[in-house]
Structures are given as structure tokens and as C-alpha cells.
Amino acid sequence: MAGTIPAQAKLSAVVRTIAGSMVAEVCSIYLRRANGEMELFATEGLDPGAVHVTRMRPGEGLIGEIMRQGRPLNLSDAPSHPAFSYRPETGEDPFHAFLGVPLLRGGRTIGVLVVQNRTSRVYSDDDIEDLQIIAMVLAEMVAAGDLLSREELKDVEIAPRRSERLKGARLADGLAFGVAVLHEAPVAAGRLLSDDVPAEEHRLSTAIDGLQAQIDAMLEGHEGIVGPSYDVLETYRMLAHSRSWNHSLLDAVHSGLTAEAAVERVRSEHRAGIGQARDPYLRERLHDLEDLNDRLLRHLNGDGEKARVLPENAILVARNLGPAELLEYDRTRLKGLLLEEGSSASHAAIVARAMDIPCVGRLAGLRDRVNEGDPVIVDAETGEAYLRPRPDVVAAVTARIGVRAERRAEFARLRGTPAYTLDGAKITLLMNAGLAVDLDILPETGAEGIGLFRTEFQFMVSEDMPRRTAQTELYAKVVEAADGRPVIFRTLDLGGDKVLPYLQAEREDNPALGWRAVRMGLDRPALLRTQLRALIAAVAGRPLSVMFPLVASVEEFRAARALVDREIAWAMRRGRPAPSRLEVGAMIEAPSLIWHLDALLPMTDFVSVGTNDLMQYLFAADRGNPRVSERYDPLSPPALRALRAIREACAESGTPVSVCGEMAGRPLEAFALIGLGFDRLSMPPTGVGPVKKMVLSCDRGAAARGLAGLLNSSSGSVRGEIEALARKLAVAV
């Protein structure tokens, strides 16, 4: 026990001091054990024999009540409260007035701080405020190990310690093991209290002004537009200007907290208060408040916050990441990303995929369960996160990481090998891209060019609409980086699951079937023409290939193509160079076109099959909804027959055709595509190596013969049969 005495003495001194400053006869600290019990850790005024003896079960007594509510409890006569639970060992019968506040850390209640008086005194709002601030400092000191040693805190739920496995959604493929870095780092204990209230008040007011101005400006860009994002911004504005929020923050600063600590304090209260709400509306408001708090902290840090120095093997942990935030981190050290929210179309997911960083999202309660520096695993193969994993899990994952690295090395060796099938058919393997960071990997992949450049990504990762000059700059960079390899630029594919806060359409019941892609481009020709102008300027007399997304009728293609001709004429009138060669193509994503290819193909220079959308529309299954998106198999007779019809029509009219949906990057699916006769595949960068390995081991004639019979199968899926065929032919899938 010798080692514990000084710490216990320290804690006793703390409660004595608090009792003195609050003019209370009793001051007690309860901390939460891992089993949920609240244990008396120190007291001034109650029987010292009760320390480490009195334990309240979860929900028991007034302490349990505070714990449950995460809010202060102020009573003039504690024993008459229905939740009061009498503990004879504490000797507390003569005390009536009771004030207890939660010890909050990151929205979790780690303990309770209580003061009591004999008289039926009523504690004032100032008393409550004071005790909350003391509780905040105390919580940080306990967590920082300033008051109790690690040994004493063993089994105390100060910070989450147990191994946990959280199930989420795979947002960017891969596997990583590293240390957690919190994107929204908690304010350090040393930065909680200020001795210059006016200076802090000034900092806070300046930051709030900056935040309000920022939100007002964001809203101004939205004039005349209605939609969910506009609503969200309106809510932000309301909250940012809300007097109660401002007052709570100012009050906290007036009570001696730094501006950052004030933000955290108000945030903690909101989290604890609203966090338990079932009402989805309230939870949504909490979400908005969280975002506002983060924004306010960034304003306090100064807008141009420098990139954080990351440890080796950093795994970034965040609620969500805004436009471009991920790009601010050092890519060489950032190994993975865990998000509490996020969807596959969210900025963070898009950028993570472009940076080839594994990412798992939709991990409920993530931030409250991770401490800075915790070992964590991002398993984006299964869509899971392991927090503080056990050694056997680490060993298993490390082995899997090793296998992946070996496979990568093997694919890297194939980089320079052209992709010919065993029977001598050349298969052109291209890469999908969308951001400047993608281009860094182009040479590494061995892809022969970019078969799909998703131009909307630039729009999706920007805070506001990229200007024409910014568009030109990016496209020129892409052409430069491609270094003579072909690039197919796809015009803006916005709408559907790709929403922009600054360019929002009306709320739609069925966005995937709504005003999106080329439909939007044709209705808003200024947007599309600006982009075409930027593309023509960027290629500056070199070849240009451009294609339009989600064309559903020949008229749409005709109209879109006419805009390209118009922009080229416009450039030439100004003496600017026209592209040395122009190819205009359509994406085949709407099933309608399959039965009008005879009309469409003669108008196009090439087509590319967007199987992600084509499958969603063929099977009437939302690609973004995990419940239905994997319900139907592209390796099924209807899907394969649709693909065969497209391939045959293209062969008949001599139109070059590629497949650029995700399936082109999966070896087994790519095997089927080659069997159907496709010879141009564009895929995510990580698919190029595995698909090339498959191609090199594949006899295309045999694949075609084997596949032909399967297309007449009466099964819903022929995946198993195709797998068996690949095995029989010894194809590396």
C-alpha cells in the first residue's frame, strides 16, 4: 500500500481544498470502475473509512442519477429525493444540501464530484458553474495521471482501455496497424485555465465572429437554392448566432477557462445532455453542434492551422473530415483512417481511396472509445476497427499485412510487362482517377493511361465551386502527369450520391434517378461549357478525349456533343489551339441505351460501360445501400447478357468500348469480361496488378467458350461456375 499513500493523500488534499473553496462541509470524489460501479475515492467530511468501500451500482442513488443524466444535480434536501440511497458507512445522515456534477471527458462521465452541507442550503448557479469548472480540471488531472498512479487507476474507466472491435463500413480498401491520432485533439490539461479573462474573451469573440462570417458567406453562395445542405447551413447559422450557445461559451470564459476549454466544456455538456436522446431530430442537432464546435476550435487555432506532426504509422481518427482536410496530413506517415461517420461518397472516403489509405467509416461511438496514442487496426477488408487489439489479433493482422505487401511487390514486378493473354490477345489496362494525388501512383501501377477521370471529385473536395482556372490547372496537371498516355475525362457527374453543399438541387425522392450527371450539365449549360472550355484550354493543342456520364437517350448525347463543338469553335475564334484529335464518348450506364446502340454508336467515337450505375439500374438496387447493393450479382446471366449485347453492338459498328466500373478491377469479374470479349478495362489503381496477373494466365478463347454456356444458365448467379471455370483453366483469379 506504501505506493498508494501519497496519491491518496494528494486526492484528500484536493477534496479538502474544494470543500474549503465551496464553503461545504463535505466534498467527495467518485470514480467509475470498469464494471460500471461508482467508487468513493476520496472524501472530506464523510467517514474516511468509506473510501474505497462505498460503491454505487450503475443507476444507484444520487451518484447513479448524475452518472445516468450526465448533468448536475442540485438539491436542498437530498434524503427526500426518490433516488437517494442511504449508506451507513459514510455517516452522511446529517447532510441535506447536495450538489453533484459529472466529471466529463470527451462526452463520457468518468466520475462524479459532490459537495454537501448540513443546512438545507440552495447552491446558486454560480456555485454550479464553479463546481463544473473544478470538475473539468479534476477530470483532466485524473486522466493525465497527476493525482493517481496507473496502478490505482487500473480498472477505473478514466479512458477506455479494453480491447474492442467495432463494426463499420469499408470506405477505402486495405489493412493497417498503427497508433491513433485524434483529428479533433482534446484540449491539453495545461491549457484549461487562463489568468487573463479579457484576453480569452477577446480570442473567443474574434473566433465566434470569424465562424459566423464564414457560415454567412457559405450561405450567401446559396441564394435561390433549396435543399438539404442549405437547410443544414441554415441550422448552422442559427446555432452560430444563438445567444444561448454564445452565452454558455462566454460564461465559461468568464469563470476562468481558456477559450478552447470553454468550447470543450460546452461541448461536453451538450454531448452528455443530447447524446442520450433517441429523437433523431435532437441527435441531428447534436451533430450540427459538434461540427460548429470543431469549426470554432479551428478558428481559435487560427485558420491556417499547420499540418500536425504525425507519428510513424499514424491512424487518423475523426468524426468526419471536411473538404481537403485529409490532404493536409503527411501522407508518408498516415497509414489509415477511422471515421465515426462517412459514406463511400464522402470527401474523406474519396480522398482516402485516391491516397490509397485504408478507411473504415460509420463506426458508432468511435471517438469516445479511442485515446490518442492507442494501438489500432483498420481492417478495411472486413470493415472493422480494432481498438487496443490483443496480441494475437495484432499478430494475425501483421501477417495479413505482410501477405498484402508481398502481393504488391509481385504486382510491382509485373509493372513493365504488357498484358497479353496466353493466346496472344492484348488487353489494355487503364486506371480510374479523380484527384491530383491519384496521378502520383499512375507510373507505379503500370496502367497504360487513365480510362476514367472523374472530374467531379475536384468539386466534391472543395469548399466552394472551383473556378475555370482551377479546373484548367488540374486538367493540365493530369495531362502532364499522364506523360503521353491517353486520358479520358468524364464531364461532371454530380447529383445522385454526389452532392455539393454549394450547388444543391431541390430535394428529390429518388436522387439516383433524378437530376444528375449529364442531365444537370444540359440544363445548366454554363456549368458544362465552363468545364469543356477548361478541358480544351488544358490540353492546349494535344489530343482530347471526353465522355458524358449517364446518357439515357441519343438526344442527350447529341446535345452534349454539340456543346463540345461549340466550345472548340469558340476557342478557335479566339486563336486558341483546338485539340489535335478529339474523341467524344458516352458512358453506358442507363439500360435504355442497350436497345438503342444502333442509333447511338455511330454518333460516338467510343463508349465506356459504367457497370456501377448500369447494375444499379438493371437490378433496381441502390448502389449506396448496403442492404441491397450486394444482393444481385454482376456475374449473373442477365448482367452478363447485357454486357455481351453492348460488346457485340460495338464490335459490329467498330466502336471502341471499355468497361470502367469497379468490377473491371476484380480479377474474377475481369476474367468474365475478357471472356465476353472486352479488351479495355479501366479500374481503381489497386486493381491493375491483380488483373494483369489474371490476364497473363488466361486463355481468352477458352474463357469465351467456357462462359458462353453459362450465359444460358437458369441460375440467379453463375459466380460459382465462373470460379470453377477459372480454376479449371488455371487462371490466377
| Residues in region 625-664 near ligand PEP by CB under 6 A | 660-661
The reply on whether position 567 binds Mg ion by CB under 5 A is: no
> What's the half-sphere exposure (Cβ side, CA atoms, 13 Å) at 17?
9
Secondary structure of 457-497 in HEC code, one letter for each residue: HHHHCCCCCCCHHHHHHHHHHHHHHHCCCCEEEECCCCECC
Helix axes 197-220, 243-254, angle to 10 degrees: 160
Shortest distance in whole angstroms from residue 525 CB to ligand PEP? 22
Choice between 379 and 493, CB closer to ligand PEP = 493
Q: 555 CB contacts (<8 Å, ≥6 apart)? A: none
| 3-state secondary structure at position 250 | helix
The only residue of 44, 493, 669, 699 in contact with ligand PEP, by rule CB under 6 A: 493
Choice between 341 and 613, CB closer to Mg ion = 613
Shortest distance in whole angstroms from residue 609 CB to Mg ion? 10
Choice between 197 and 512, CB closer to ligand PEP = 512
Shortest distance in whole angstroms from residue 591 CB to ligand PEP? 12
Q: Chain centroid to CA 523: how far? A: 31
Shortest distance in whole angstroms from residue 682 CB to ligand PEP? 8
Shortest distance in whole angstroms from residue 613 CB to Mg ion? 4
The reply on whether position 349 binds ligand PEP by CB under 6 A is: no
Nearest Cα to Cα of residue 447 among 680, 724, 166, 238: 680
Cα distances (angstroms) measured from residue 582 to each of 541, 565, 605, 651, 672: 10, 10, 9, 21, 31
Q: Which does 660 bind (CB under 5 to 8 A by kind): Mg ion, ligand PEP, none?
A: ligand PEP
Choice among 183, 270, 299, 347 that is catalytic: 347
The only residue of 100, 107, 579, 610 in contact with ligand PEP, by rule CB under 6 A: 610
| 3-state secondary structure at position 430 | strand
Choice between 64 and 661, CB closer to ligand PEP = 661
The reply on whether position 452 binds ligand PEP by CB under 6 A is: yes
Q: What grid cell was written down for 511?
A: 436522387
139: how many CB neighbours lie within 10 A of its CB? Answer: 25
The reply on whether position 613 binds ligand PEP by CB under 6 A is: yes
The reply on whether position 449 binds Mg ion by CB under 5 A is: no
Applying CB under 5 A, the span of 93-101, 471-479, 562-570, 605-613 interacting with Mg ion comes to: 605-613
The reply on whether position 611 binds ligand PEP by CB under 6 A is: yes
> What's the half-sphere exposure (Cβ side, CA atoms, 13 Å) at 43?
23
Cα distances (angstroms) measured from residue 200 to each of 195, 197, 248, 306, 610: 9, 5, 14, 22, 55
Length of the chain: 733
DSSP 278: -
Choice between 377 and 587, CB closer to ligand PEP = 587
* Rounded Cα distance, 513 and 591, in Å: 12
Choice between 345 and 540, CB closer to ligand PEP = 345
Q: What grid cell was written down for 415?
A: 509493372
| Residues in region 453-472 near ligand PEP by CB under 6 A | 454
Q: Which residue has the cell 463508349?
A: 607
The reply on whether position 438 binds ligand PEP by CB under 6 A is: no
Among this protein's residues, is 359 annotated catalytic?
Answer: no
Among this protein's residues, is 660 annotated catalytic?
Answer: yes
The reply on whether position 665 binds ligand PEP by CB under 6 A is: no
Choice between 157 and 613, CB closer to ligand PEP = 613
Q: Which does 269 bind (CB under 5 to 8 A by kind): Mg ion, ligand PEP, none?
A: none
Shortest distance in whole angstroms from residue 187 CB to ligand PEP? 40
Shortest distance in whole angstroms from residue 612 CB to Mg ion? 5
**Total residues binding Mg ion (CB under 5 A):** 2
Burial class (CB in 10 A: 0-12, 13-18, 19+), 290: buried
The reply on whether position 613 binds Mg ion by CB under 5 A is: yes
Nearest Cα to Cα of residue 182 among 106, 123, 107, 252: 106
Q: 606 CB contacts (<8 Å, ≥6 apart)? A: 488, 545, 547, 583, 585, 655, 656, 657, 658
The reply on whether position 496 binds Mg ion by CB under 5 A is: no
For 159-193, b/e burial (b = at least 16 CB within 10 A) is bbbeebebebbbbbbbbbbbbbbbbbebbebeebe
The reply on whether position 610 binds Mg ion by CB under 5 A is: yes
Choice between 235 and 428, CB closer to ligand PEP = 428
The reply on whether position 385 binds ligand PEP by CB under 6 A is: no
The reply on whether position 589 binds ligand PEP by CB under 6 A is: yes
Shortest distance in whole angstroms from residue 484 CB to ligand PEP? 24
Is residue 679 within 8 Å of residue 425, measured between CB atoms?
yes
Choice among 359, 650, 660, 698 that is catalytic: 660
Q: Which does 611 bind (CB under 5 to 8 A by kind): ligand PEP, Mg ion, none?
A: ligand PEP
Residues that bind ligand PEP (CB under 6 A): 452, 454, 493, 589, 610-613, 660-661
Residues that bind Mg ion (CB under 5 A): 610, 613
- For the annotated catalytic residues, the residue numbers are 347, 660
